[in-house]
Amino acid sequence: MATEEGNSTDSWRALPAAQQPEWPDTRELDRVTAALAARPPLVLGGECDQLRLRMAEVARGEAILLQGGDCAETFADVTADAVRRKLRTLLQMAVVLSHATALPVVKVGRMAGQYAKPRSSPVEERDGMALPSYRGDAVNGPGFDEAARTPDPERLRRMYEASAGTLNLIRSLTTGGFADLRQVHAWNQGFVAGSGAGERYEEVADEIGRSLDFMRACGVDTRDLATAEFHVSHEGLLLDYESALVRTDPESGRAYAASGHLLWIGERTRQLDGAHVEFFSRIANPIAVKLGPNTASDDVLGLLDRLDPAREPGRLTLVVRAGADRVRDVLPALVEKVNAEGAQVCWVSDPMHGNTTTAPSGHKTRRFDDVLDEVRGFVEVHRALGSHPGGIHVELTGDDVTECLGGSGSLLAEDLPYRYETACDPRLNHTQSLDLAFQLAELYRD
């Protein structure tokens, strides 16, 4: 959308944009994006600024980021139950992490906009037939037939509506008592009581309970603990959609991506001369970039110069997804380069995307122990270099799915077919997510 100074956020259009769908009818795309440009923003600039301040605390080592949700949200899963369970899982994890680190946890969902996926191949071949790959509900359908796989711009409108519905529910739940700290603690007690690792986690849960009793005894007004600050994020992949939702803040005159509070650039679209980096350089939101195991220090320097030229803490988050076997080798050079630049970024570990394997049954999966080990390596590197291990970015769901292996439920490869429901990558289930929080609590307290 044009801003008052001219088309300043449209400069990406002149550059190569990786991972964009081949829309069959661009007039239809234009019609949908014009309609979206006239709709209300999903988030306001002021809220994005507030998250940016929180992220500045993460950058300075005064807070921890917990970012999580589905690999790919689906339109079918925009239900009260599914959203509530995801939110509950994140709130439970946040209490455990906050207690362990004695720091505030900045809670950000991979929610209310995570509908578009980059793919390693533009086509999928099955039974001698080749069709466009599924690129997320924002683009096409997962069914393997011509009609489902043909990109349909009308889906962008549905993405906006699904995001609005999810965000509305999140706003209601986080301010309407669902996030009450005592309630969240009671859920954690229930989890610990039913967990195979019960005794191991009990100590942490008991300490949290005693802290809450102490606060009450001191006369802390617990009404203040009944609401939670929560923000939403997604990969800013589909530039036609993101562009249609840019809104200029009337007060500051700054342009924001109004589709979510924080947007990130994926590992496959972070080319310095590409359209995504250009678009992100023009919006004022807090932003993140994924960094895979082959990231060169100079790539990071280039990203800093393009995306955070003023070196403002809170503007840029670097999400490292190197793999448990590579993170200890790869990360030190990147951290040293950023430190040498005098930049204060948020360092975050995505322990999912570098640890994907294929089970004998053919299911894409991840081992809980690899996930934990990557975060452990990430924390070790930062401790050795004196920088802040700012948080985690994870793929999870509040449901009892069977997509990742291990955890306190000892999920086995033969269990995978029972509830393998993800639209894209394997997610930690509710139990495995809490296992991760409790085991990270031990790690952070060491």
The binder of 323, among Mn ion, ligand PEP, none, by C-beta within 5 to 8 A per type, is none
Judged by CB under 6 A, does residue 236 bind ligand PEP? no
Give the separation between CA 68 and CA 432, rounded to whole angstroms: 13
Give dist(CA 205, CA 72) in Å, integer: 31
Query: Of 49-108, which residues contact Mn ion (CB under 5 A)?
Result: 71
Q: What is the β-pairing status of strands 287-291 and 357-358?
A: unpaired
Residue 320 binds to Mn ion (criterion: CB under 5 A):
no
Contact present, 356 and 366 (Cβ < 8 Å):
yes
d(CA 342, CA 335): 11
Q: Does 290 bind ligand PEP (CB under 6 A)?
A: yes
Q: How far is the CB of 269 from ligand PEP (least distance, A)?
A: 8
47 binds, among ligand PEP, Mn ion, none (CB under 5 to 8 A by kind): none
**In angstroms, what is the minimal distance from the CB of 304 to Mn ion?**
25
Phi, psi torsion values for 415, nearest 5 degrees: -80, -15
Counting contacts by CB under 6 A, is residue 321 touching ligand PEP?
A: yes
Bin 126: left if φ > 0, else alpha if -120 < ψ < 50, else beta.
beta
Number of residues located near ligand PEP, criterion CB under 6 A:
9
- Residue 314 contacts which entry, Mn ion, ligand PEP, none (Cβ below 5-8 A, type-dependent): none
235 binds Mn ion (CB under 5 A): no
* Contacting residues for 186 by C-beta, under 8 A, at least 6 apart: none
> Of Mn ion, ligand PEP, none, which one sits near residue 321, judging by CB under 5 to 8 A according to partner kind?
ligand PEP
By CB under 6 A, residue 135 contacts ligand PEP: no
CA–CA distance, 98 with 89 (Å, rounded to integer): 14
Q: Which residues are annotated as a binding site for phosphoenolpyruvate?
A: 110, 267-268, 290, 321
Contact 217, 168 (CB under 8 A): no
Q: Is 267 near ligand PEP (CB under 6 A)?
A: yes
In the bound state with ligand PEP, the residue whose beta carbon lies nearer, of 57 and 370, is: 370
Q: Which of 155, 157, 353, 430 binds ligand PEP (CB under 6 A)?
A: 353
The residue (of 13 and 364) whose beta carbon lies closer to Mn ion is 364
Give 231 or 353: the residue with its C-beta nearer to ligand PEP: 353
Those residues whose C-beta lies under 8 Å from the C-beta of residue 124, and which sit 6 or more positions away, are 130, 131, 132, 133, 134, 144
Subset of residues 406 to 435 that bind Mn ion, contact rule: CB under 5 A = 425
**Sole binder of ligand PEP in the list 71, 212, 288, 338 (CB under 6 A):** 71
Contact at 8 Å (CB) between 262 and 288? yes
DSSP 122-144: SEEEETTEEEEPP--TTT--SSS
Query: Which residues form the interface with Mn ion (CB under 5 A)?
Result: 71, 425
Query: Which residues form the interface with ligand PEP (CB under 6 A)?
Result: 71, 118, 266-268, 290, 321, 353, 425
